[in-house]
A and B are shown apart, each in its own frame.
Chain A
Amino acid sequence: MIIAQTDIISIAFWATVLAAGVRLAVSVGMAALGEMINERAGILNLGLEGVMLIAGFAGFAASFETGSPWLGLLVGLIVGGLVGALFAWLVVVLRSDQVVTGLALTLFGIAFTAFLNREIYGGGSTPPRAPKPGIWEIPILKDIPLLGEGLFSQSQVAYLAILVTVLLVVFLRRSYWTIVLDAVGEEPRAADAAGHSVVAVRFIATVVGSALAGLAGALLIVGQLGFFNTGITAGRGFIAVALVIFGRWRPGGIALGALLFGALDALQFRFQTLETAVPFEFFIALPFVVTLIAVAFGSKRAREPSALTIPFFRETE
């Protein structure tokens, strides 16, 4: 590689990569956290990419029409939950095949948002831009070398996302409902015998998971990019599904995986602009290569929830 050596070893270079990495990590991490919740209840949602696109587009439209990115995030969360309710009705209540329904939801999301974008915003190569939320700099801390820019000079939505993540992790660690969630995902018959409605728990978990995925889509499109394009999530929904496996269905591992992916994604953007002997397309592929390898090393030891993708029937039905 003929990257200017001074560039790549300078603290400024890595500080900006880290800052962009955190920005990219919050979206994919939020989606993965949502997927983790519904998977722990036994519901695999491969429609995550579609949910992110539909909710992200709705959030973008709200943000563009009202000028408020915060409203855009809220709309993303709500629309994500609504799409999740539809998905839950299909796979939890009607007990449709989860893999097929999820994939169909993703294909629907890609085509449907492309259609809406074309009808409403023309779908051209120079899409309209919505206002982005401001940056929030924390005095003194932001001047810490290397970490300062990444952790203490971020978009306001990034802090919100981190706050939501921390609250969620604390809730999951301390809550009785986590035990119910895991019981439904591991031994639904036992949970049923203990008096918990498997259908209700799975329905709620799927709605909550999709709402978080919707928020993730809005974080990416409203909070970070400020514009919409066909298929703009570019596989991040599936990366999120992979991160759940990599993180072994635990929030800590998922957060770590999200940061790893975010950093690689940011590095990829940087390398594209540098003059290197390695073609820039290789860097575009890099985050996917590393995710695949990471999942490969994580999968053998990972143990998915026992009842994942298995529909539940009560004896009396």
Chain B
Amino acid sequence: MTNPVAVGNAPTDPQVPPPDFTSTLLQRGLQSGVLVLLGSVAAAFLVGAILIVWVGENPLNVYRVIITESLFEASGWRDTLIQATPLGIIGLGLAYGFRAGVWNIGAEGQLIMGAVAAIAVVGPIRDLPGIIVIPAGLLAAMVGGALWGAIAAYLHVKFAVNAVIATLLMVFIAEPLLNWAVRVPLKDPATFLPQSRTVGNGALPDIFGSNIHAGVLFLFILVPIAAWVMNYSRFGYLVRAHGANRHAVYANESRPGRLPFILLALGGALAGAAGFIQLAGVQTRLGSGAAAGFGFTAIIVAILGRNRPVGVFLAAIGLSAMLVGAEAAQRSLGLPVALTQSIQPIIVMFVVAGEAIEQRLLRREAERIADATAAHLHPEAHP
């Protein structure tokens, strides 16, 4: 096998056409990336169809309901955008981590602590104008989430604790803390339920002329910024380099643990922001069900978005539409949302499996091209 790049001015035989190796590798890689994704979604929906038949419904009818209710109804679009907002915001933070190979699995806990911090700050000042209360709440939530992420980051960087374990165990610590917070210190004295007072003037206003809260704009502003930073800034370069070969980055860094630390705190800050947007835009009060699984679904969003900001945005819309449609199907057909929630991880498994197969095919293709090139340049050695 000869390296095709290193041939220089090797003799060429004009009788033999040169092998076409520029197009195949690149094009096949790009095309099959999309093909793998579409194929995985189709395969997962097929698995879903089997489950739907087992439950005694018509899968075509169910999928029609899911698609029309989430994408072709005005209220469906509204709900899809509103649910995509926390998924996308958290997914962006996770994607930065995943792209660098830093596994933050604890967004659920970071979201919870962000929401708790937000309501703790907003509570006493909730009668001030919204222009003060909303930024204060958002800032508190981002700091709260970032601090919760930073605890896991500290354990990961200073004590070499596996990031998956550190971030995830923090979720199981955040959940009881939330339950205590809404039962004792932050509880609304006017009710017997374990929930906080409302956010008051901290409630997010609707976007002009619609009934969609302004938090959705946060996602639309964040996506292009995140995409630019990932692709064109020094920080984004470090993130990508860290994912490709962290030792190469550490060789040039005076403090090797800094990037993972920043990424875990950043993931926490964005999860916290999502917590505030849910609190101030949707729930208005903090209760024990504050996180509602967004932190875990966002992991799927980041992975299906290929850890690229625009991809994350599209995946957030797609998965949100699936969930909104599934809720409609639960209302009208009695089909559990849990069925749709089990299909989403299946898509992920198919995508990574498809990617692994694609990698192997590309390896073989690369070897075939290398051999063909070598045979073309040195026909005497390859009879």
Contacts and interface: CB of A to CB of B under 8 A. Distances in A.
Interface of A: 46, 90, 94-97, 99-101, 103-105, 107-108, 111-112, 114-115, 118-119, 123, 230, 234-235, 238-239, 241-242, 245, 279, 281-282, 284-285, 288-289, 291-292, 295-297, 299-300, 311, 317
A104 B301 CA distance: 12
B342 A103 contact: no
A119 B103 contact: no
A26 B249 CA distance: 43
B169 A115 contact: no
B299 A281 contact: no
What 4 A-B pairs have minimum CB-CB distances, sorted nearest first? A111-B341, A115-B338, A281-B180, A281-B176
Contact of A96 (B155, B160, B349): B349
Interface stretch (B308-316, B350-358, B373-381): B350-358
17 contacts: A90-B352, A97-B355, A99-B103, A99-B164, A100-B352, A104-B345, A107-B348, A114-B336, A235-B171, A238-B169, A245-B162, A281-B176, A285-B175, A291-B169, A292-B161, A292-B170, A296-B161
A243 to B, nearest CB: 10
B311 to A, nearest CB: 15
A46 B296 CA distance: 14
A282 B176 contact: yes
B19 to A, nearest CB: 22
Contacts of B360: 95, 317
Contacts of A108: 342, 345-346, 349
A111 B342 contact: yes
A96 B303 CA distance: 13
A234 B338 contact: no
A106 B45 CA distance: 19
Contact of A285 (B160, B173, B338, B344): B173
A97 B356 contact: yes
A125 to B, nearest CB: 15
Given A46-B164, A238-B165, A238-B168, A111 B338 contact: yes
A107 B164 contact: no
Contacts of A99: 103, 164
B315 to A, nearest CB: 14
B173 A105 contact: no
B339 interface: yes
A299 B345 contact: no
A107 B346 CA distance: 9
B338 A292 contact: no
Interface of B: 51, 55, 103, 105, 155, 159-162, 164-166, 168-173, 175-177, 179-180, 183-184, 296, 299-300, 303, 336, 338-339, 341-342, 344-346, 348-349, 352-353, 355-357, 359-360, 363
Given A94-B357, A97-B352, A101-B353, 16 more contacts: A94-B353, A96-B355, A101-B349, A111-B341, A111-B342, A111-B345, A115-B336, A118-B336, A235-B168, A241-B165, A245-B165, A281-B179, A284-B176, A285-B172, A292-B155, A300-B159
Contacts of B300: 104, 107
Contacts of B103: 99
A291 to B, nearest CB: 6
B100 to A, nearest CB: 13
Contacts of A90: 349, 352-353
B173 A103 contact: no
Contacts of A119: 55, 336
Contacts of A292: 155, 161, 165-166, 169-170, 173
Q: Which of B165, B183, B300, B346 has the most C-beta atoms of chain A within 10 angstroms of its own C-beta?
A: B165
Given A97-B352, A99-B103, A119-B336, A107 B168 contact: no
B155 A288 contact: no
A115 B342 contact: yes
Contacts of A95: 356, 359-360
Q: Which of A111, A114, A296, A297 has the most C-beta atoms of chain B within 10 angstroms of its own C-beta?
A: A111
A119 B339 CA distance: 10
A200 B362 CA distance: 24
A241 B163 CA distance: 12
B2 to A, nearest CB: 17
Contact of A299 (B162, B176, B339, B363): B162
B169 to A, nearest CB: 5
A32 B172 CA distance: 18
B338 A296 contact: no
A105 B350 CA distance: 11
